[in-house]
Amino acid sequence: MLVKFWGVRGSIPVPGSSTIKFGGNTSCVEVRCGRDIIIIDGGTGLRVLGLDLMKRGFCPDLKSGMGRGKVSILFSHMHWDHIQGVPFFGPAFIKGNMINIYGFKHLNVDLQQTLTGQQKLPNYPVSIYEMGGDIKFIELHEGDVIKINRASVTAVRLNHPGGSFGYKISYKRKSLIYACDYEHFDGMDRKLFDFAKGSDAIIYDAQYTSEEYYGSDRNSGRQGWGHSTWEKGIELSEAAGIKKLILFHHGHSDEDLEKIEKAAKRRFKNTIAAYEGLELRL
């Protein structure tokens, strides 16, 4: 299982001099299970991933003009920073490419309605139905297990305003947890604990520090905003026996993230702050 990060930011894309090291694109993670490609979330990082996939054979065949690629995209939820890259996903414009999109009904609006609405006038000039690829929408429910050849994906509902899904991807005795746009509870979240227990790695929502979350940084705090802290990520990883902690959904500058990563490593050695281009093999 190869995991590659194409967008690691939370809330909004932030290009510029203060995010050069870790990157300014929003959430998008590629997981390769053999020849199968699973994408988690379609933030602005999805555009860059799409360009890379075009180089890998998702471009039109010279003789037939048809694409030959297939990807599965898992959406945690439908907030802007997780869907903004969809209208710019190059492989979806090529007839013959298969794009299977998975997610849950968000506040009684299903996945297809949300992504279609994003590309309606005056928001965008090309509707999702005009993109050309073979796009299918599959609605998920908590506990569902998807089989993608030899890989399996399990969905769990997380604590986030309007709801969010976390995922477990299992392949060849390795398991990866994606727990993004998730707000911890004061005590241990038994559902996420049981879901993630013994996993090889977890991609964890660490948008805030504890000082920011509880308001001891002289601001009003961020409780109820739907995100967690790197400290809580360590607490979960230690308790659940997770081997590697990947801090994700960043809300800080490169300078601050470097400090956070160093502090986290002192407490849980096998921690890394995700950055654009990071590749991990499980």
List the single range of 58-67, 154-163, 229-238, 263-272 with lowest mean pLDDT: 58-67
Instruction: Indicate left, alpha or beta for 38 from its phi (over 0: left) and psi (-120 to 50: alpha).
Output: beta
In the chain, how many domains are there? 1
**pLDDT digit string, tens, across residues 88-111:** 999 999 999 999 999 987 767 788
Residue 218: per-residue pLDDT? 76
Residue 202: per-residue pLDDT? 98
Residue 192 φ then ψ, to 5°:
-70, -35
Where in the sequence is the domain holding 192, given as residue range(s)? Answer: 2-281
Residue 105: per-residue pLDDT? 79
> Starting at the edge strand that comes first in sequence, how are the strands of the sheet with 271-273 ordered?
145-148, 151-158, 164-171, 174-179, 201-205, 245-248, 271-273
Spatial contact of 87 and 118, defined as CB atoms under 8 Å apart: yes
Tokens of 169: 């991807």
Residue 63 reports pLDDT greater than 80: no
Residue 242: per-residue pLDDT? 98
Residue 275: per-residue pLDDT? 98
- Residue 106 belongs to domain with CATH number: 3.60.15.10
Residue 196 reports pLDDT greater than 80: yes
**pLDDT digit string, tens, across residues 202-261:** 999 999 999 999 988 778 889 989 999 999 999 999 999 999 999 999 999 999 999 999
Q: pTM score, two decimals?
A: 0.95
Residue 183: per-residue pLDDT? 93
